[in-house]
Amino acid sequence: YLFYLTGKRLAPREKLDIPVLFVPDTMKMYEILMVVHVMRENGENWPYEDSAELNKDLRRRVTVAENGGIQGILWIYPVHGIPEALQQKLVPDVIRCQARQRVERRVEALLTGVVPAENATLVTRNSAMVNRNKPANIQEIVQVTNDFSTTMEFLYELQYQSNEIKSQLEALVGMHLIEKAWDTESRIVTLIFNVVFAPNKPMRNEATLIVQCTTGGIWKFPMLFIATEPEVDDVINIEAVGLNKESVVGFKLTSQTR
């Protein structure tokens, strides 16, 4: 698609705001080219010398008049519209674990309105491909297929409210896709993740599971990680040796980090 803006008069050094309205009707990515064509108000052309030094990229961004001057200048902006599904799950999936323990929990994500790619190819396997350049708990590429459907690729990651929370939870939370299914009639993709939570101290932090389809569309699912107080390590008894006399007991502490 091409989007043209015409009939706007600009003063020198004036800023131009271009409103873009995006109202998607399907969960797929839309692409447009927004073209701004600028010409002089008095109708005169910009002079220039046509030479070999004028590269091809510049030639594509100007319109040349018959007399050899530059009649107009083009600015071309690609715009990608990615629809985001309404957040249907208002209550987050709660992953609760006692500090210094480990818990595994299955989380189900339903992706509604999935539109297959036009150039997708039929496959007979059902597999997940992991991007080895990034940690597995941050993102993976997933192929959702069955014997009657086409290949669909999804990208998922856990998004945290701040970098501080991310630094705390990134090493404590692991997420892996274990099951996937695609209902071609309802166009609902079901992804089931195995979430591992191994907190080292009490905490309560929120996160969001972001799933994006390569054909367009974003789905968000809220999550809440709660770590409760750990168990008491030991009970230390100090026996008094007499009134107004000190009693001393020793015990060892082992650091979990360097």
**Protein fold of 93-115+145-228:** Immunoglobulin-like (2.60.40)
| 18 to 7, 82, 144: CA distances (angstroms) | 13, 19, 38
- Does 105 score more than 80 pLDDT? yes
Quick one: what percent of the chain has pLDDT higher than 70?
79
Residue appearing with tokens 């993976």: 140
Q: Which residues face 208 on adjacent strands?
A: 159, 222
Q: What is the pLDDT of residue 134?
A: 45
Q: What is the pLDDT of residue 93?
A: 93
Q: What is the pLDDT of residue 139?
A: 43
| 184 to 114, 147, 154: CA distances (angstroms) | 9, 11, 16
Residue 150: partners with Cβ closer than 8 Å, 6 or more residues away: 116, 117, 120, 121, 122, 123
- Does 64 score more than 70 pLDDT? yes
Distance CA 178, CA 214 (A): 20
- Does 42 score more than 50 pLDDT? yes
Q: What is the pLDDT of residue 198?
A: 95
Q: What is the pLDDT of residue 98?
A: 96
Distance CA 10, CA 133 (A): 47
Distance of CA 82 to the CA centre of its chain: 12
Residue 252: closest CA among 233, 238, 239 = 233
Model confidence at 50, pLDDT cuts 50, 70, 90, reads low
Q: What is the pLDDT of residue 219?
A: 93
Domain ranges of the chain: 1-83, 93-115+145-228
Helix (H, G, I), strand (E, B) or coil at 11: coil
- Does 129 score more than 60 pLDDT? no
Distance CA 182, CA 16 (A): 45
Q: What is the pLDDT of residues 72-97, one digit of tens each?
A: 888 888 999 999 988 777 789 999 99
What does pLDDT average to over the chain? Answer: 80
Q: What is the pLDDT of residues 145-191, one digit of tens each?
A: 544 445 677 889 999 989 999 988 889 999 998 888 888 778 788 99
Radius of gyration of the chain (CA): 30
The model carries a pTM of 0.69
H-helix or E-strand containing 63? strand 62-64
Model confidence at 52, pLDDT cuts 50, 70, 90, reads low
Q: What is the pLDDT of residues 221-254, one digit of tens each?
A: 999 999 999 999 889 999 998 899 999 999 888 8
Q: Which residue has the higher pLDDT, 59 or 122?
A: 59
Q: What is the pLDDT of residue 67?
A: 73
Q: What is the pLDDT of residue 63?
A: 78
Q: What is the pLDDT of residue 126?
A: 36
